[in-house]
Amino acid sequence: MSISPSLKEYLDQQSARYETVSHPHTLSSVDSAAAAHVPSEQLAKAVIVKEEEVYLMVVVPSDHHLHLGRLHHHLGHEVGLATEDEVFNLFPDCDEGAIPPVGVAYGFRTLVDSDLMDQSDIFFESGDHRNLIKVSGQQFSTLLGGAERVQMGLNL
């Protein structure tokens, strides 16, 4: 698999201009950035959180951790990280841990760390551990649709 079917369909619907960037198999977004020779602050990663029975996608740069305290403050209540099993079931057309950070393609409310929106180019997982999608920062903003822009990340 190179691009998950759900992501491919969404990219096609949006007439998105993108490139694929292949790299050796990796298991983390920071490793993917290094393997693909792209700046880690330009690689967007998705973190899935759960508030009661509703899932949200939070998108942060790969060199950031999600700061749950900031997220709790923004939302006005606490949320928890989704389990690996929950994430696997939510993204059946993706390899485990290779979630594209385009929540609208999967029907998720999305929050995006504002640090990403200053980048000229953005890279993100395609749904497997061997390919990234490269888009312009402007194209990424368009793909995110109405994603809320907030300061959610914490540098590693």
Q: Please give the pLDDT value at position 140.
A: 96
Domain boundaries, the chain: 5-155
Q: Please give the pLDDT value at position 28.
A: 84
Q: Please give the pLDDT value at position 155.
A: 54
Q: What pTM, to 2 d.p., does this model score? A: 0.92
DSSP string covering 69-137: HHHHHHHTS--EEPPHHHHHHH-TTS-TT---S-GGGGT-EEEEEGGGGG-SEEEEE-SSSSEEEEEEH
Please state which CATH class domain 5-155 belongs to: alpha beta
pLDDT 10s digits, 26-52 = 888 888 888 899 999 999 999 999 988
Averaged pLDDT, 145-152: 82
Q: What radius of gyration, in Å, describes the C-alpha atoms of the chain?
A: 14
Residues whose CB is less than 8 angstroms from the CB of residue 113 and which lie 6 or more positions away in sequence, other chains included? 58, 59, 60, 61, 64, 149, 150, 151, 152, 153
